[in-house]
Amino acid sequence: MQISSETKRVELPADALYRFLNDFRHFGQLLPEQVKDWQATPEQCSFAIEGMAKIALVMGECREYDLVTYQSSGVTPISFSILFKINPNLETQTDYTVEIHADMNPMLEMMARKPLQHLVDVMAEKLQVVIETNQDIR
């Protein structure tokens, strides 16, 4: 299953957005309020979402100024990845989308599609807000 956010644009060069996303310590700012027990290092993170299992992520494939991928690991019950696709628009503008790719059976996919769509939409929106309100990222 693949779920994507709408494409968003930020007033930030692609290299700065890439550096921000390439450090899990920033990822917590993009998650919904229901997240509990947040822990992160630059290379991995773990957290729980109310009413769900604990989730652990590690850095996956990363291509400078193009893609940052987070992979599920360890105790996470479903194999999935979160992709941030980065597309430089102008020297000071960058477009991006957030995607989730997950391996699930069709029944679980039916139940998970709506919450996962909400999750990618929240992450895409929060990333835009964090970039717009934090001058230190530049």
pLDDT one-digit tens code per residue, 59-118:
999 999 999 999 999 877 789 999 999 999 888 899 999 999 999 989 989 998 998 999
Cα separation, 56 vs 99, whole angstroms: 17
For 51, the token pair is: 């009413």
79: phi > 0 → left, psi -120 to 50 → alpha, else beta; which?
beta
For 119, the token pair is: 């999750």
Residue 13 has pLDDT above 70, yes or no: yes
More confident residue, 137 or 127: 127
Local structure of residue 33 (DSSP, 8 states): T
Can you give the pLDDT at residue 89?
Answer: 87
Can you give the pLDDT at residue 44?
Answer: 96
Residue 134 has pLDDT above 90, yes or no: no
Residue 26 has pLDDT above 80, yes or no: yes
C-beta atoms surrounding 108 within 10 Å = 13
% of residues, the chain, pLDDT over 70: 99
C-beta atoms surrounding 91 within 10 Å = 8
Can you give the pLDDT at residue 138?
Answer: 64
Q: Annotate 12-49 with b (16+ C-beta within 10 A) or e (fewer).
A: bbbebbbebbeebebbeebbeeeeeeeebeeebbbbeb
Local structure of residue 18 (DSSP, 8 states): H
